[in-house]
Amino acid sequence: MSVSMSRRAVLASGAALATLTAAGPVFAQATPDRATLLATMKRATAFMTDEVAVGGGYVWQVLPDFSRRWGELEAKPTMIWVQPPGTATVGHVYMDAWHATGDEQFYDAAKACADALIAGQHPRGGWNYVIDTAGEDSLKDWYETIGGNAWRLEEFQHYYGNATFDDAGTAEASQLLLRVYLEKRERKYRAPLDKAIQFVLDAQYPNGGWPQRFPFVEGAGGLHGNPDYTPYITFNDDVAGENIEFLLYAHQALGSNDRRLVDAIQRGMDIFVATQQPLPQPAWGLQHFPDTLKPAPARTIEPRAFATHTTATNIRSMIGFYKLTGDRKFLARLPEALDWLDQVKTPQNLIAPGRTHPTFILEGSNTPVYIHRKGSNIRNGRYYADDNPNNLIVHYGSFRNLDTAALRAEYEAAAAMTPESVIATSPLKARPGTRALPKYFTLKDVSIWDMGTEGRRPRPVAPTRAAELAGTLNARGYWPSLLTTTSNPYVGPSPEAVTGGEYQTTRVGDLWDTSPYTTDFPVEGISTQTFITNMGDLIEALQVAS
């Protein structure tokens, strides 16, 4: 949902799963009537709110007996997840169901999600990845046990006590509060919404960049002997684009003439121009130092280097910024970046199916580097980068698939537009309060360009799909899913000695590694992603139902 690119790929892949169909074929060919669709949606929602929710919030997937539950990592029974597709994403689909039906059950469910997020909102206004309804002591214990032993997920290995812009959690939660407040203007939602807006404003550097986490924690230190990377200007996961989008939504939907919002949006766009490096490497990294604006290292799987996929994302973002402002400075150096991407393409002898570019390119040399690891767990293992393209880790891609021809076509189409023509359709230039939010947020990957529209998918749902969903909701009220990801349960602190063999290219480390991994033995479970997707299909089906 960023200004530029698809924001929530997690809606398609954040929780690996496959939906199970009912025993036997589904023969119905016509869309079920409206009453049947609504009854299916209400029963599925009742199961989620009455049995799956914890204090109104959600994780990503649970076992049918609720003995284990997961977000990106395994969660305690008292925890909910903020990262998509967690609490806010479920709240958005409830809001969409409310807009499609007018049934108060869905609005009440959406408010419960908003209330759960408000209960876990940082005092400064943002959100962490997770919320523990049992309190901070319980959350710290989780960081010391499950989080602290997740070898490959360094963002969960340290308790910061602050909030994050990573993975769109804060942005999506803020958008849900905005939607819920606008629906009936209930005063209880205005104060936390204002805090969320203020958080985005407070976290922004004067030069326009946003850090990964805020407020800064003095003496936090880094992991594995590295400096703390969380204050660096962050482009990874489209942090800046997400914040710009939320501020634009707030600016327009609230009818605000607050110049702070417009100024923050402008500076947020300008940092893209300022951080594009000079020739011969006119690219961007995942993160940049706030003072020098040079590429910075992040996690140990993310070396100090240029990132080809981030460069492609930023190119698309800047095309969007031109359409918002009519300022050609956002287009001026994009041909240089496109030429550079073509220059650093992966040699033919190394190209993997569906991959065109190395992920990381060293500053000063255009040398690709690839990510490896040694050891067996968080205590004895380490990640490192070198120029060897063999024996790579499998959970973080050392190669990317970038369609530079399509990017060039987008650039050329934008460059052919006059500033006057783009300003005429820009939600930034329109008078505040004249562009409504999209009616639906989860049917497709909506953005600011969908303001004033319903935000529907380009193609309707097949009639057989609606019939299948009505027929496969089980007796308890959920759609069974194959949970194709799992994790080792926490069994104690990781040992110093390497155990169990070689883990260079495995999906997970030894038995002490609590990182999630794809399993060859999936089990049936309950998935918020399946629920979100299926509810969206039913919402779409309602428009053609009798």
Q: Model-level pTM greater than 0.85?
A: yes
CB-based contact 157:223 (threshold 8 Å): yes
Q: Which residues on adjacent β-strands are paired with residue 386? A: 370
d(CA 192, CA 196): 6
Eight-class DSSP state of 149? G
Buried b (16+ CB within 10 A) or exposed e, 437-448: bbbbbbbbbbbb
Pull the structure tokens for residue 501: 């063999």
d(CA 317, CA 265): 13
Say whether 45 sits in a helix, a strand or coil: helix
Which pLDDT score, from 0 to 100, does residue 20 have? 61
| DSSP class per residue in 400-419 | E---HHHHHHHHHHHHTS-H
Largest CA distance in the chain: 65
- Expressed in percent and rounded to 5, the helix, strand and coil fractions of the chain are 40, 10, 45
Which pLDDT score, from 0 to 100, does residue 13 have? 39
CB-based contact 300:319 (threshold 8 Å): no
CB-based contact 346:415 (threshold 8 Å): no
Distance of CA 510 to the CA centre of its chain: 28
Query: Which residues lie closer than 8 Å to 35 by C-beta, 6 or more apart?
Result: none
Gyration radius from the chain CA atoms: 23
Which pLDDT score, from 0 to 100, does residue 256 have? 82
Residue that has been written with the tokens 């999906």 in this structure: 507
Q: 418: how many CB neighbours lie within 10 A of its CB?
A: 9
CB-based contact 41:101 (threshold 8 Å): yes
Q: 164: how many CB neighbours lie within 10 A of its CB?
A: 23
Q: Which fold has domain 10-542?
A: Glycosyltransferase (1.50.10)
Phi and psi, residue 333, nearest 5°: -110, 10
Which pLDDT score, from 0 to 100, does residue 546 have? 72
Query: Which residues lie closer than 8 Å to 520 by C-beta, 6 or more apart?
Result: none
Cis peptide before 427 (omega within 30 of 0): no
N- to C-terminal Cα distance for the chain?
Answer: 32
Which pLDDT score, from 0 to 100, does residue 398 have? 95
d(CA 488, CA 510): 9
Per-residue pLDDT for the chain (546 aa), expressed as one digit of tens each?
344 334 444 333 334 455 564 444 444 457 799 999 999 999 999 999 999 999 999 999 999 999 999 999 999 999 999 999 999 999 999 999 999 999 999 999 999 999 999 999 999 999 999 999 999 999 999 999 999 999 999 999 999 999 999 999 999 999 999 999 999 999 999 999 999 999 999 999 999 999 999 999 876 766 676 789 999 999 999 999 999 999 999 999 999 888 999 999 999 999 999 999 999 999 999 999 999 999 999 999 999 999 999 999 999 999 999 999 999 999 999 999 999 999 999 887 676 778 899 999 999 999 999 999 999 999 999 999 999 999 999 999 999 999 999 999 999 999 999 999 999 999 999 999 999 999 999 999 999 999 999 999 988 888 899 999 999 999 999 999 999 999 999 999 999 999 988 999 999 999 999 999 999 999 999 999 999 999 999 999 998 887
CB-based contact 478:8 (threshold 8 Å): no
Pull the structure tokens for residue 190: 């205005």
d(CA 519, CA 522): 6
Pull the structure tokens for residue 333: 């150096």
